[in-house]
Amino acid sequence: MTKKEIRLKYKTLRQSLSESQIDDYSLAIANQLLRLDIWSKSFYHIFLTIEEHKEINTDYILNILSGKDKNIIISKSNFEDFSMNHYLLTDNTRIKKNSYNIPEPVDGIEISSSQLEVVFIPLLVFDKFGHRVGYGKGFYDRFLANCKPETLKIGLSFFEAEQEVLEIEENDVSLDYCVTPNQIYRF
């Protein structure tokens, strides 16, 4: 399938999920993550849920991270150049939704991409090769290109892998792992 076809398929699939399914699957994904050997690092980047797009509820992962006393980093997206700036999440961080319904920090201590050790990545679809497809603005491809090569890239998905996504481009950054409610994929 092409990226366009595949985006439509998974947007529709997501919209069919009930609130309780989203909650159950999000918890299952967080529990799967505990089985990965990724917990000895310090700097973890996580996305905040766009509820309107029925994304994974990342609150469970945030709880794990704060329970383990990790540095938690969240981003602000710039829709003019599709870049992201990263900030340390603290007890004082004020979060506000932007015009795309993405919850974002208002301000805070800025962290550079090169400091990140683990990045949890939102996606619409992934395939058996670790290719990922998002909303099509290239935010994460640009962001991940600025991380160190050894930074762990972990996709989170409600649905299992597609056989193959066509039209993969040079800029598309592949995943190291993808975690679903039922499975851990290693690439």
Ligand X SMILES: Nc1nc2c(c(=O)[nH]1)N(C=O)[C@@H](CNc1ccc(C(=O)N[C@@H](CCC(=O)O)C(=O)O)cc1)CN2
Question: How many residues bind to ligand X according to rule CB under 6 A?
Answer: 16
**Site membership for ligand ATP, residue 43 (CB under 6 A):** no
Question: How many residues bind to ligand ATP according to rule CB under 6 A?
Answer: 15
C-alpha 47/C-alpha 73 separation (Å) is 9
**Site membership for ligand ATP, residue 145 (CB under 6 A):** yes
* C-alpha dihedral sign at 175, 157, 125, 56: negative
Burial class, 149, CB count within 10 angstroms (exposed 0-12 / middle 13-18 / buried 19+)? exposed
Per the listing, tokens 């989170």 go with 156
- Answer for which of 25, 44, 140, 177 binds ligand ATP (CB under 6 A) is 140
- Answer for which of 72, 102, 144, 156 binds ligand X (CB under 6 A) is 102
Q: Nearest approach, Cβ of 8 to ligand ATP (angstroms)?
A: 13
- Answer for which of 100, 106, 160, 171 binds ligand X (CB under 6 A) is 100
**Site membership for ligand X, residue 179 (CB under 6 A):** no
C-alpha 33/C-alpha 132 separation (Å) is 18
Could you give the string, one character per residue 135-174, with x where binding to ligand X holds by CB under 6 A and - elsewhere?
x-x-xx----------------------------------
141 binds, among ligand ATP, ligand X, none (CB under 5 to 8 A by kind): ligand ATP
Q: Which two tokens stand for residue 121?
A: 């990545």
C-alpha 87/C-alpha 65 separation (Å) is 15
Q: Nearest approach, Cβ of 102 to ligand X (angstroms)?
A: 5
Q: Nearest approach, Cβ of 40 to ligand X (angstroms)?
A: 26
Q: Which residues contact 58 (CB under 8 A, 6 or more apart)?
A: 26, 46, 47, 48, 49, 120, 156
Q: Which two tokens stand for residue 138?
A: 């290239």
C-alpha 38/C-alpha 91 separation (Å) is 24
C-alpha 59/C-alpha 79 separation (Å) is 25
**Site membership for ligand X, residue 39 (CB under 6 A):** no
Q: Which residues bind ligand ATP (CB under 6 A)?
A: 3, 133-142, 145, 169, 171-172
Binding site for ligand X (CB under 6 A): 11, 47-50, 55, 77, 84, 100, 102, 122, 134-135, 137, 139-140
